[in-house]
Amino acid sequence: MAQLFNRRPASRIKASPARIAFSIANHIVLILGAALCLVPMIHILAVSLSSPGPVAAQRVGLWPIGFTWSAYEWVVGNPDFLRAMGVSFLRIGLAVPMSLFFTVITAYPLSKEKKYLRTRGAYVWFFFLTMLFSGGLIPSYMIVLATGLIDTIWALVIPALTWQVFNMILVLNFFRQLPKSLEEAAYVDGAGHWMVLFRVYLPLSKPVIATITLFTAVTHWNSWFDGMIYMNFPENQPLSTYIRNILQTLEDVRLTIQDVSLIEFLNNDTARAAQIFVAALPIILVYPFLQRYFAKGIILGSVKG
Amino acid sequence: MVREPVSDSESKSGGRAGASSLVSSQVEMRRELDRRRRVRNKVPEWPLHVMLIPAVAVIFIYSYLPMYGLRMAFQDFRVSRGLFGEQEFIGLDNFRFLFRMPNFLRVMGNTLWIAFLKIAFGLIAPLVVALLLNELSNQGVKRVIQTVIYLPHFLSWVILGGILVTILSPSSGIVNQVLGWLGIGPIFFLGSNDWFVFTLVSTELWKSTGWGTILFLAAIAGIDPNLYEAATIDGAGRFKQTLHVTIPGIIHVIALLLVLSLGDILNAGFDQVFNLYSPVVYESGDIIDTLVYRVGLLNAQFSLGAAIGMFKSVVSLILISSSYFLATRYLNYRIF
């Protein structure tokens, strides 16, 4: 019976002219939309690789004119930029492992049924309430000040742990759909909760761990506001904050160039474009890996049932 | 709102016991019950509490103490005396001052208007794009387009702000150059109150439309293919199928997103506005969050800043709670 209703292969159905017209229009609209997402990035890349003359004359579109690496040479020789990048890598190096451990050991108990954790309901409300209400910017700043984190790298790491509540939900939902028989067998064999978490759950949770690792790393790379308010000295600020500062101040880069040989191959626009592109580069590089996981992750986390 | 997870193991083992003969099933059931009781008694609970210590401590300090710190909105706060020290209590003075501030109502209006536009278009645009993507028969083309349109979601507003300031510049930006060829005079996208809100909403769509399609595409993929076959047999073309099968199939997700977006009506997008605005466009683009930052941190009027923030938090609490309530009550939504 079911075979009777099987759809024939699409190629054997003769498409109507209206259908073909729609299909062409649809392709055009979607491809133009996709191009719109890429064109600004390509333009910035082209500007960063062009000579200052054509850039000032607005002749650079999507392809560099008067190709030169000078802007990038200036960026990699710029101690402020490099220091900011170092701060960014340091914060990611500290925050990602800490956040992962933090999230996993919190998600595990919360994924348990009430028979294993009688006070589960209370804990869940404790975390859930932070999704409903927050103290807001000023009191949060005062707490970071009161705990002595201002102008230390920990100001960018520890308060950020509170952002992990979303990832916790992701992980605990993943834990919950693992087969119960595995952990029950482990309990019967005498394993405790730590053993079950690290020997049974985690080896099975690579996809969700990969997802939250990448999410956390990208969030920390992009985060700029905490660097701006918690760091009083520019040398403590991460790259995103540094980029924001140079974009806002409109200072002439040529005044700050030590390497005199670069001056005629560089102007504000090309130097800025190069810095923007370098800051975006890590995201563009991890993006293909990110993409393998995030669709699944976001669906698990946001809408279920 | 927060429900207990259903125990899978109990329902599963019950079914298994019923399959065999009566006697052996009773024996098996007793054995199963024994085993479960043993497991329950044997696995100590305290390691679970130990695991929760770091999170409870961090969330208490960095999420709950700021809530307690909101009392500074009722004080004449001095940093030197500290958050937990003796401060002068001034009652509702900050709030009275706030509601008399000439720009507060304007900022509220801006916030609501910008957030409303973002929510409305942020729901419609991804829905339309998802439906269009669904009509692509070539999976390769579909995947490439998806990959490209998700990308802006992962770039921060600092970077996108830098790009936008460059390409939208009225004197040297590529956008105005192209508009110039079409005979449209230079538009001050970021420097004119007539255009700033338009720029905010359209660049937000540019950043997040692609990402927004994920949920709709997942919902569309979950629709039973038999429904399309039945519709085809009944003579429905692709458009009718979209109208009568696809959209009813995902209406649940649309309703859920709509209800949950209620909680965002005071979030006009701090990161975006802060990286794109300038004093010239405060009239149309200043929002609650940017006002809190300028008043509270830049001008160091901590109490007033906290009062504005508290106003927003309280209104948001009501809205978010109602949206979660509606979503759990009527749309079968569950968070934890």
pLDDT of residue A2: 40
Residue scoring higher pLDDT (A264 or B280): B280
How close, in Å, is residue A123 to chain B by CA atoms? 8
From the options 1.10.3720.10, 1.10.287.110, 1.10.760.10, 3.40.1260.10, give the CATH code of B97-330: 1.10.3720.10
- Grade residue B130 by pLDDT with cuts at 50, 70 and 90: very high
- Which residue from B149, B218, B324 is facing A33, i.e. has the nearest CB? B149
| A222-229 contact pairs (CB < 8 A, 24+) | A222/A283, A222/B154, A222/B155, A222/B156, A222/B158, A222/B159, A223/A156, A223/A160, A223/B156, A224/B156, A224/B158, A225/B270, A225/B271, A225/B274, A226/A155, A226/A156, A226/A159, A226/A160, A227/A87, A227/A156, A229/A141, A229/B297
Most confident among A176-180, B148-152, B198-202, B225-229 (mean pLDDT): B198-202
Q: CB under 8 Å to A19, separation ≥6 — which residues?
A: B237, B238
CA A123, CA A66: separation in Å to the nearest integer? 62
Q: Tell whether B232 is within 8 A of chain A (Cβ).
A: yes
Q: Which of A247-251, B169-173, B259-263, B290-294 has the lowest mean pLDDT?
A: A247-251
Our CA angle for A122, A128, A131, nearest 5°, is 160
Cβ contacts of A23 on chain B, cutoff 8 Å: 135, 137
CA distance to partner chain A, nearest, from residue B257 (Å): 9
Task: Name the phi and psi angles at B173, rounded to 5.
Answer: -75, 150
- Compute CA distances A130 → A165, A166, B56, B59, B62, whole Å: 9, 11, 11, 8, 10
Three-state SS at B180: helix
> Which position has the token pair 């979030």?
B267
Chain B segment 23-52 residues within 8 A of A by beta carbon are 35, 38-40, 42-45, 47-49, 51-52
Partner-chain contact A23 B84, CB within 8 Å: no
CB pair distance less than 8 Å for A303 and B215: yes
Given an 8 Å threshold on Cβ–Cβ distance, is A272 in contact with B336? no
Hey, are the CB atoms on A37 and B149 less than 8 Å from each other?
yes
Question: Number of Cβ pairs closer than 8 Å across A and B?
Answer: 310
Cα gap B305→B72, rounded to integer Å = 10
* Residue for token pair 């910008």: B114
pLDDT tens sequence for chain A (305 residues) = 343 444 444 444 567 888 888 889 999 999 999 998 898 999 999 988 988 878 877 778 888 888 888 888 888 888 888 999 999 999 999 999 999 999 999 999 999 988 888 899 999 999 999 989 999 899 999 999 999 999 999 999 999 999 999 899 889 888 988 888 888 889 888 888 999 999 999 998 888 888 888 889 999 999 999 999 999 998 899 999 998 888 777 555 555 555 656 666 777 788 888 989 999 999 888 887 777 766 665 555 444 43
Contacts 24+ apart (CB under 8 A), A126-130: A126/B56, A126/B59, A127/A165, A127/A168, A127/B55, A127/B59, A127/B336, A128/B1, A128/B2, A128/B335, A128/B336, A130/A162, A130/A165, A130/B59, A130/B63, A130/B64
C-alpha–C-alpha distance, residues A89 and A45, integer Å: 23
What CA–CA distance (Å, rounded) separates A171 from A188? 25
Gap between the Cα atoms of B30 and B25, Å rounded: 9
- How far apart CA A96 and CA B17 sit, in angstroms, is 46
**Sequence-ordered list of residues with C-beta below 8 angstroms from that of B250, at least 6 positions apart, any chain:** B216, B219, B220, B223
Q: What is the pLDDT of residue B289?
A: 93
Which residues of chain A does CATH 1.10.3720.10 include? 78-302
Domain A78-302 class, CATH top level = mainly alpha
Domain ranges of chain B: 97-330
Residue B75's DSSP bridge partners are: B89
Is A123–B56 a contact, with Cβ atoms under 8 angstroms apart?
A: yes
β-strand partners of B76: B88
Closest C-alpha to B111, from B256, B303, B260, B315 = B315
- Phi, psi angles (nearest 5°) of residue A133: -140, 145
What is the per-residue burial (b if ≥16 Cβ within 10 Å, else e) of A204-241?
Answer: ebeebbbbbbbbbbbbbbbbbbbbbbbbeeeebbbbbb
- For B194-205, b/e burial (b = at least 16 CB within 10 A) is ebbbebbbebbb
Torsion from C-alpha of A246, A251, A252, A255, nearest 10 degrees: -100
- The answer to whether the CB atoms of A143 and B61 lie below 8 A apart is yes
Torsion of CA A166, A171, A176, A177, to 10 degrees: 110
Residue A232: alpha-carbon gap to chain centroid: 25
User: ipTM of the predicted structure?
Assistant: 0.84
Top pLDDT among B4 and A160 is at A160
- Closest among A164, A47, A111, A139 to B167, alpha carbons compared: A47
Helical H segments across A160-267, by residue range: 165-176, 180-188, 193-195, 202-204, 206-222, 225-230, 239-249
Q: Cβ contact (<8 Å) for A303 and B144? A: no
When pLDDT is cut at 50, 70 and 90, the band that residue B271 belongs to is: very high
Enclosing H/E stretch for A4 = none
Backbone φ, ψ for residue A183 (5° rounding): -70, -35
Model confidence pLDDT, tens digit, residues B214-258? 889 888 988 888 999 999 898 888 888 999 999 998 998 898 888
